[in-house]
Amino acid sequence: MPDHEIYMQRCLELAALGIGSVSPNPMVGAVIVLDGQIIGEGYHRQYGQAHAEVNAVNAVLSKYQNAEELLQNSTIYVSLEPCAHYGKTPPCADLIIKHRIPNVIVGCRDPFDQVNGKGIDKLQAAGIEVMSGVLEDGCKQLNRRFFTRVQKKRPYVILKWAQTADGFFAPEDGKQFWITGEESRRLVHKWRGEEDAILVGKNTVAIDNPQLNTRLWPGKSPKRVLIDRKLELGRDLNIYDQSVETIVFNEVKTDIEGKIKYIALEDFDRFVPQYILFQLYLQDIQSVIIEGGAKTLKSFMEAGLWDEARIFTGKTVLGRGIKAPYVTGAEFEESLSDADRLQILYNNPIN
């Protein structure tokens, strides 16, 4: 692997540490190299706080007495194009110019209109050498949530379900039925902490009374999203416990009660997935994991509004019941989670 790719891979490893903490910003890692040695590195840790380039430069400043001289002879690697506009923090392109770092290696351009190409242009106008496109596919894949939100004006949609060995989602009577093992359930809780929101339909809540949190894994619990057309669910259920912000899509009312936000959709017979995703986009929700039930999952699949499907297949055989959803035509990865098989399928990959 060429040196540029080695250092960019380190940027990606650092950037990934920000998952679940930086949305709606992208995950970004930065590495500063001098004479084949890393002298500083950093990543975007928290939304609204310092960007990766700032943390990497500060690492050099805090470690070396002659930091300015070192920076003026170094190369900075950044997984995403340095920003050129004022947002929550000043432009990172200006920081690089200020410290006269002569070489910048970029993983991929930022699709956001206020940045796209402008950061690179600003650096080049200041006489800085810029190379872009190093491990570009990997950089885009890491920030597929961010790219989807910017380019498609909706959150990145992850479908998740478990099915029996013979392809059933649940028993015919719809009662709660565990298909996967403990390791798979812990993995699901880890995933929840990585996404902005988790969405379920009314029947799932009525049957399972889920908490939809991360109690089996350390980390923040996502916002909860419920589809309950006529607001038929009881307020004593866990989803109404006011522990996290909860959005309830319905056709009855628009109101806010503590952490519960009711949003009434004008037409509940058409385009419901589209309406829901647009509303979530407007609220800076960058990703949503849909955990059921079967009808809800199928509605997003039939609308073509999904980006990733994570499917557990257990060893249990039901013989009869509610058939699991079925998706085709996507690239996939496959692995084992304890005794369960896990497939991850991708739809409409980011370009």
Active site (catalytic) residues: 53
Type of residue at 56: A
For residue 26, give the DSSP letter.
Answer: P
- Distance CA(137)–CA(172), nearest Å, equals 43
- Distance CA(220)–CA(238), nearest Å, equals 17
User: What are the tokens at 127?
Assistant: 């006489």
- Distance CA(301)–CA(326), nearest Å, equals 9
DSSP collapsed to 3 states, 258-289? CCEEEEECCCCCCCHHHHHHHHHHHCCCCEEE
DSSP string across 275-327 = HHHHHHHHTT--EEEEEE-HHHHHHHHHTT--SEEEEEE-S---SSSEEPP--
Type of residue at 210: P
For the chain, what percentages of helix, strand and coil (3-state, to nearest 5) are there?
Answer: 30, 25, 45
Q: How many CB atoms lie within 10 A of CB 39?
A: 18
